[in-house]
């Protein structure tokens, strides 16, 4: 693939996004939730875990502690008992109680619809905040860079090996993709990463964007 400038990268990105829409539509969140609060909780729990594993524990968790008020008054041990099958369950339980308490103390119990304000909640980083902004509020203020998005961005040649953090990768993607696409990229790429662009043994020959991918046959 010839050397690209920003303009040609943007054009290739739009061609890829058109194919993503053909295959995945707008994409869909794999986590089960009913409110912005339960979404925040589910995304916090999903760190270093599969969404399927999170979905196994959240019905019980949300039945008992599905509001900021109920979770803020819970003891971490009560949360641990429910989520113990997940990785880092002790620190997650502690963060969830603190998150709910902060939400009540500083935000009137309402999940803020701002990416910077969201990151003031314990356990909420940039990726989680971006997911909540896109999924709960349909107001993208960035792109959630998880392991799938990070891997795919590198394989598609939109970032370089120097872009070795989610923050650096996100910064590059925000320059390439228009804000109207930020809403969909994470969900679409997660599904694409699971189906084709796998971490191991990617299905390059069957990939619908292989003609637009500089890593075709190399991954």
201-216 pLDDT per residue, tens: 999 999 999 999 999 9
Is residue 203 assigned to a domain?
yes
CATH number, position 96: 1.10.340.30
Q: What does the alpha-carbon distance between residue 150 and residue 186 come to, in Å, rounded to a whole number?
A: 10
- Reported for 42-46, long-range contacts at CB under 8 A and 24+ positions apart, including other chains, are 43/128, 43/131, 43/132, 44/92, 44/95, 44/96, 44/99, 44/123, 44/124, 44/128, 45/83, 45/86, 45/92, 45/96
Same domain for 160 and 203, yes or no, is yes
Strands (E), 16-163: none
Q: For 31-77, write each residue's pLDDT tens digit.
A: 999 999 999 999 999 998 999 999 999 999 999 999 999 999 999 99
Is residue 217 assigned to a domain?
no
Count up the domains in the chain and report the number.
2
Question: What pTM, to 2 d.p., does this model score?
Answer: 0.91
Q: What does the alpha-carbon distance between residue 167 and residue 150 come to, in Å, rounded to a whole number?
A: 10
Nearest CA-CA partner of 149 in 163, 133, 162, 135: 163
Q: Which domain holds residue 67?
A: 36-135
Provide the annotated active-site residues. 127, 146
% helix, strand, coil for the chain, step of 5: 60, 0, 40
Q: What does the alpha-carbon distance between residue 140 and residue 44 come to, in Å, rounded to a whole number?
A: 18
Same domain for 110 and 59, yes or no, is yes
Q: Of the residues 84, 105, 135, which one is the last residue of a structural domain?
A: 135
Q: Of the residues 135, 169, 201, which one is the last residue of a structural domain?
A: 135
């Amino acid at each position: 693939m010839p050397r690209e400038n920003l303009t040609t990268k943007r054009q290739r990105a739009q061609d890829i996004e058109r194919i993503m829409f053909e295959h995945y539509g707008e994409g869909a969140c794999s986590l089960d939730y009913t409110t912005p609060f339960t979404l925040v909780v589910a995304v916090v729990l999903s760190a270093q875990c599969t969404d399927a594993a999170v979905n196994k524990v959240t019905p019980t968790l949300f039945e008992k502690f599905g509001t900021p008020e109920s979770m803020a008054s819970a003891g971490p041990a009560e949360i641990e008992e429910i989520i113990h099958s997940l990785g880092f369950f002790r620190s997650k339980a502690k963060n969830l109680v603190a998150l709910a308490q902060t939400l009540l103390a500083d935000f009137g119990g309402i999940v803020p619809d701002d990416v910077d304000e969201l990151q003031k909640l314990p356990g909420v980083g940039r990726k989680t905040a971006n997911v909540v902004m896109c999924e709960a509020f349909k107001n993208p203020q960035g792109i959630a860079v998880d392991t799938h998005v990070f891997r795919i961005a590198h394989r598609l040649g939109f970032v370089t090996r120097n872009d070795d953090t989610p923050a650096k990768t996100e910064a590059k993607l925000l320059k390439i993709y228009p804000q109207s696409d930020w809403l969909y990229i994470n969900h679409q790429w997660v599904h694409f990463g699971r189906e084709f662009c796998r971490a191991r043994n990617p299905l390059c020959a069957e990939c619908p964007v292989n003609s637009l991918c500089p890593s075709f046959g190399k991954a």
